């Protein structure tokens, strides 16, 4: 695979409704669509997932731009790669900046599978024809708002509900939800809002039969999570703490979690995501695919990854209409009975709609 030209499309898309977590609220999403043109003339698409502020990890939309322009794109234009797995190897001299790396690597994976004429899911080794999905709901103003939202999403068929919690919006909320929905498969995501000082509060969550509690403690911790897991019946799922295969191996070894949320951007690309998946399968650790409020291209990559067989729990990859007035792909991603049908055409399996893409574009830059 030799890239002839890479275009960065700088986009701004507004979420239909703001999304709140323990660390902040999102509404406008700035990101890059990466268009990588191969020597064959075929096009691979990638999407950067860092947000505008460094709240979730240290990366931002602007650090992604800097890394892509000044380091990553030049490294790939220089020489061909034989396989997409070589992209992350080529990027090894560059520390972290995983979301920038993943955005470009994703475009190469799409191009590679298009050159082979097979779906990206198949190129990754995935076999599922449809995937199960859940939905992640941000912190709401009132309990009533939250209950109504959940009822709506259950009607749409989502297989599990994730609610965001934070100090002051936690035990009471979970208790009320369990009272209202006695058999609902649901879970809580704290996005690192607690410390071990809150252990009594976190232990109270054990009473509500949650599927898991996601990232309760610090974003860079695996030691305290291991201490906490010993005190809880509820499985801990790590998100922010897992940035690589090595992180996953160490967390599993320490007993810091029983479940891992794999996000392609957070771990630096599809090749690393697959490595983590394979290791978790070997160790009997369940995984699911997390989300970064992606537009259609990122969503398509998530769908392809989720076809791997250790993705045994429903992920956060909801339908396009949960986020956007009009997504940038055709067809848009739709969910029926809590499932997304995996496309069977080559590459990511969705067409980028140029007209819609242009309508959200602030700037484009081409490198060759």
Residues labelled catalytic: 164, 263
Site string for ligand OSB, 43-72 (x = CB under 6 A): -------------x----------------
Does position 21 bind ligand OSB by CB under 6 A? Answer: yes
Looking at beta carbons, which residue is closest to ligand OSB?
291
Smallest distance from Mg ion to CB 61, Å: 19
d(CA 98, CA 265): 6
| Helix, strand, coil percent content, the chain, rounded in steps of 5 | 40, 25, 40
Member of 132, 170, 239, 316 binding Mg ion (CB under 5 A): 239
d(CA 285, CA 280): 5
Does position 292 bind ligand OSB by CB under 6 A? Answer: yes
Residue 189 labelled as part of a binding site? yes
228 interacts with, out of Mg ion, ligand OSB, none, CB within 5 to 8 A per kind = none
Smallest distance from Mg ion to CB 326, Å: 26
318 interacts with, out of ligand OSB, Mg ion, none, CB within 5 to 8 A per kind = ligand OSB
Please state whether beta strands 186-189 and 236-238 pair in parallel, antiparallel, or not at all (unpaired). unpaired
Residue 110 labelled as part of a binding site? no
Does position 316 bind ligand OSB by CB under 6 A? Answer: yes
Smallest distance from ligand OSB to CB 318, Å: 6
Member of 33, 161, 318, 328 binding ligand OSB (CB under 6 A): 318
DSSP state of 315: B
Counting DSSP H helices and E strands in the chain, the numbers are 14, 15
d(CA 31, CA 49): 7
- Residue 316's nearest CA partner among 14, 21, 30 is 21
Residue 155 labelled as part of a binding site? no
Tell me the two tokens of residue 298.
């990122």
Does position 38 bind ligand OSB by CB under 6 A? Answer: no
Smaller CB separation from Mg ion, 237 or 348: 237
Smaller CB separation from Mg ion, 214 or 294: 214
Of 57-65, 108-116, 289-297, 324-332: span binding ligand OSB (CB under 6 A): 289-297
From the number of C-beta atoms within 10 Å of its C-beta (0-12, 13-18, 19+), residue 354 rates as exposed
d(CA 91, CA 76): 9
93 Cβ contact list (under 8 Å, min separation 6): none
- Residue 315's nearest CA partner among 284, 338, 336, 332 is 338
- Which residues make up each annotated binding site for Mg(2+)? 189, 214, 239
């Amino acid at each position: 695979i030799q890239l002839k030209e890479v275009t960065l499309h700088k986009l701004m898309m507004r979420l239909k409704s703001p999304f709140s977590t323990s660390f902040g609220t999102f509404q406008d999403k700035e990101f890059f669509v990466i268009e990588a043109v191969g020597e064959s003339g075929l096009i691979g698409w990638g999407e950067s997932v860092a947000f505008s502020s460094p709240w979730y990890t240290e990366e931002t939309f602007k650090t992604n731009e800097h890394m892509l322009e000044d380091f990553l794109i030049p490294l790939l234009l220089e020489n061909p790669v034989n396989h997409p797995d070589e992209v992350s190897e080529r990027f090894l001299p560059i520390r972290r900046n995983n979301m920038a790396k993943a955005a470009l690597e994703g475009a190469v994976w799409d191009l590679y599978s298009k050159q082979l004429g097979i779906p990206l899911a198949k190129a990754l080794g995935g076999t599922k024809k449809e995937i199960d999905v859940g939905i992640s709901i941000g912190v709401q103003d009132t309990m009533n708002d939250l209950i109504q939202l959940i009822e709506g999403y259950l009607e749409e068929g989502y297989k599990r509900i994730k609610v965001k919690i934070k100090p002051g919006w936690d035990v009471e909320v979970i208790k009320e939800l369990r009272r209202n929905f006695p058999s609902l498969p649901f879970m809580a995501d704290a996005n690192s809002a607690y410390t071990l000082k809150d252990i009594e509060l976190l232990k109270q969550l054990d009473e509500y039969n949650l599927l898991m509690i996601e990232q309760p403690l610090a974003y860079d911790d695996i030691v305290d999570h291991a201490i906490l897991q010993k005190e809880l019946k509820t499985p801990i799922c790590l998100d922010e703490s897992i940035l690589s295969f090595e992180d996953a191996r160490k967390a599993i070894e320490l007993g810091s979690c029983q479940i891992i949320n794999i996000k392609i951007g957070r771990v630096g690309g599809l090749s690393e995501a697959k490595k983590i998946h394979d290791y978790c399968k070997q160790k009997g650790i369940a995984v699911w695919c997390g989300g970064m409020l992606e537009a259609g291209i990122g969503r398509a990559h998530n769908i392809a990854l989720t076809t791997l067989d250790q993705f045994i729990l429903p992920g956060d990859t909801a339908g396009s209409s949960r986020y956007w007035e009009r997504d940038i792909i055709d067809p848009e991603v739709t969910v029926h009975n809590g499932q997304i049908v995996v496309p069977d055409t080559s590459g990511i399996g969705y067409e980028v709609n140029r007209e819609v893409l242009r309508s959200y574009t602030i700037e484009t830059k081409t490198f060759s």
